[in-house]
Amino acid sequence: MAKVLCVLYDDPTTGYPTSYARDDLPHLDGYPGGQTLPTPRGVDFTPGRLLGSVTGELGLRAYLESQGHTLVVTSDKDGEDSAFDRELADADIVISQPFWPAYLTAERFARAPELKLAVTAGIGSDHVDLDAAIEHGVTVAEVTYCNSISVAEHVVMMILSLVRNYLPSHQVVLDGGWNIADCVARAYDVEGMHVGTVAAGRIGAAVLRRLKPFDVHLHYTDRHRLPREVEEELGLTFHASAADMVPFCDVVTINAPLHPETEGLFGDKLIGSMKRGAYLINTARGKIADRDAVVRALESGQLAGYAGDVWFPQPAPADHPWRAMPHHGMTPHISGSTLSAQARYAAGAREILENWFAGEAIRDEYLIVDGGKLAGTGAHSYSTNK
């Protein structure tokens, strides 16, 4: 029997919900492009409930315990003698979320001799040292596509919020004011702007599709060029690299995975090559943007705004400079953890576990590392240091 160690974020400060704003979720037939939603043999939760926090347990306890497995759930993942470190020593499986990542470092792999499977309940497995996973023969899987559209919607919201100066204007209302000139002095229309995405995978492509009706000029760069018919349908301009693309753009959105080629990509040099007064959106990973370079660009006016919900480390410390920098629209890492998305990534996590325990193949699109090498989606999206 297996010990499953699950690291989830804390419950709401007011306690686990007893009621919700809505009674149900819309029905989805599948993902764009034809991939099916998660297909576990069963679920023990009600879609639309809070599953990603400690009490929600991803809806896994009844299933795992009925099969004789042990489930340990904690939010305590950092610092000396964390619950995560104590329980990791004899864990067979670790489940974590990108929003509250349990960083599986090389040192932690070395202290986890029983570990065989690391599951990301969500998308993006960069909190797992993939080189170490390969070295130790650990399979890494994630619930690909489960919250891609959730993130794409968040990107569009943040673009509009920055360009239209929404957040400061809303604050005027909260403060009891009616300072119209103060609100509109930094407000523009998105119409006619040039908007580019760094990476046009599931999230990036969904962002492009959602922006097309705004009558903007769309640009993208990606290591895998989109089919010509997609470029023509959306009116896309392809660029060979981010450095080639960003000088043309009024808005740049980062939708790339974190790996050695993208870490620190948006530093002083690349940001300095952007149009003065451009906006930068980052819902990918915090380390793709240089922390201090972003602050400097906002303070100097090189960037008119920066928004995103990804930080490093996560959770971000209270003194993280992105909390206090000017003209930002930062949120905690929530873009892919809506109640709608939670139903999908909880179901996907269970599907992966069901396959694993039954000795069945995990979906290729869920695999990041398998058999001692990058596999499935991992081979398409990631690179390693080896």
CB atoms within 10 A of CB 92: 17
DSSP codes of every residue in 13-51: TT-S-SS-S-S--------TTSPPPP--S---S-TTS--
Active-site residue (options: 194, 285, 328, 350): 285
Q: Quick one: angle between helices 166-174 and 148-163, nearest 10? A: 70
Strands, E assignment, 122-200: 139-142, 194-198
Task: From 238, 235, 152, 249, select the one nearest 194 (Cα to Cα).
Answer: 249
Q: Rounded CA gap, 244 and 270, in Å?
A: 10
In sequence order, the 6+-apart residues with CB closer than 8 A to the CB of 327 are: 162, 186, 298, 303, 304, 305, 306
Active-site residue (options: 154, 194, 219, 333): 333
DSSP H or E segment with residue 62? helix 61-66
Active-site residue (options: 108, 127, 147, 194): 147
Q: Would residue 344 show up in a list of annotated catalytic residues for this protein?
A: no
Q: Is 298 left (phi over 0), alpha (psi -120 to 50) or beta?
A: alpha
- C-alpha dihedral (316, 319, 325, 330), degrees to nearest 10: 20
Active-site residue (options: 97, 314, 327, 342): 314
Pairing type for strands 217-221 and 236-239 reads parallel
In the structure encoding, which two tokens stand for residue 208, read together?
A: 């492009």
Contact 51, 340 (CB under 8 A): no
In sequence order, the 6+-apart residues with CB closer than 8 A to the CB of 51 are: 45, 57, 58, 59, 342, 343, 346
CA 108 and chain centroid, separation: 23
Which amino acid makes up residue 292?
A: D
Q: Would residue 282 show up in a list of annotated catalytic residues for this protein?
A: no
Q: Would residue 86 show up in a list of annotated catalytic residues for this protein?
A: no
Q: Would residue 165 show up in a list of annotated catalytic residues for this protein?
A: no
Q: What are phi and psi of 306, to 5 degrees?
A: -135, 130
Q: Which residues are catalytic?
A: 147, 285, 314, 333
